[in-house]
Amino acid sequence: MFTELAANLIAGATLLRTTLQDPGTAELSAAVGRLKDIEHAGDDLTHSILLKLNTTFITPFDREDIHALASSLDDVLDFIYAAGVRLDMYGIHSTLPAAVELAGLVLAQCRTISSAVSALERHDDVLRLCSEIARGEREADYVARGAIATLFEKEQDPIRLIKHKELYEVLETATDKAEDVANVLESIVIKAA
């Protein structure tokens, strides 16, 4: 079920990056609507995991860890969806290169999360993949800070500045949440050691 949740996460991150590459189309609202469906599918999967947890006697890992993993995966998708919402809510119709780059980093992290979730039962590669996810967060931090500094230098309109700044920040927070997933995975491996 976590494999399914990770696949759904990759679908969301992929759609977000595509949408950010060309937000000027008439289909922006439709794309954000599809992102919402993906987010709901994630919620339903998370809920099924928690219900199953409640009625199963034997689980492969600690119940609490399964709970934490499901919740943290859900958080990543929440911020992916939140970034899409900003596009629609703030009427952002031009391509922002730094936003596309950040969405690319989120997507890369989601793919690594998916690999780490698959590697979890074997344990061996998880810590290396977690470091890779953490590295993605640091890179996103760097990209977002550069984009925001440029914004404060160039943008004269405070209202547009607020919109773009928040989009960069929401994308950067998605990478923070991906790092939180890595921390949960790391602590599962540590406990099992």
57: number of Cβ within 10 Å: 4
**Binds a second copy (CB under 8 A): choice among 4, 37, 64, 125:** 64
Smallest CA-to-CA distance from 103 within 170, 34, 149, 155 is with: 170
**Integer Cα distance of 81 and 69 in angstroms:** 19
**Binds a second copy (CB under 8 A): choice among 41, 48, 67, 139:** 67
Stretch that binds a second copy, among 1-9, 97-105, 109-117, 153-161 (CB under 8 A): 153-161
Number of amino acids touching a second copy (CB under 8 A)? 30
48 binds a second copy (CB under 8 A): no
Stretch that binds a second copy, among 2-10, 21-29, 98-106, 185-193 (CB under 8 A): 185-193
Indicate the residue among 107 and 130 with the shorter CB distance to a second copy. 130
189 binds a second copy (CB under 8 A): yes
186 binds a second copy (CB under 8 A): yes
- Kindly state the smallest distance separating residue 148's Cβ from a second copy, in Å: 7
190 binds a second copy (CB under 8 A): yes
- Kindly state the smallest distance separating residue 97's Cβ from a second copy, in Å: 18
Q: Which residues bind a second copy (CB under 8 A)?
A: 50, 53-55, 63-64, 67, 71, 85, 89-91, 127, 145, 148-149, 152, 158-159, 161-163, 165, 183, 186-187, 189-191, 193
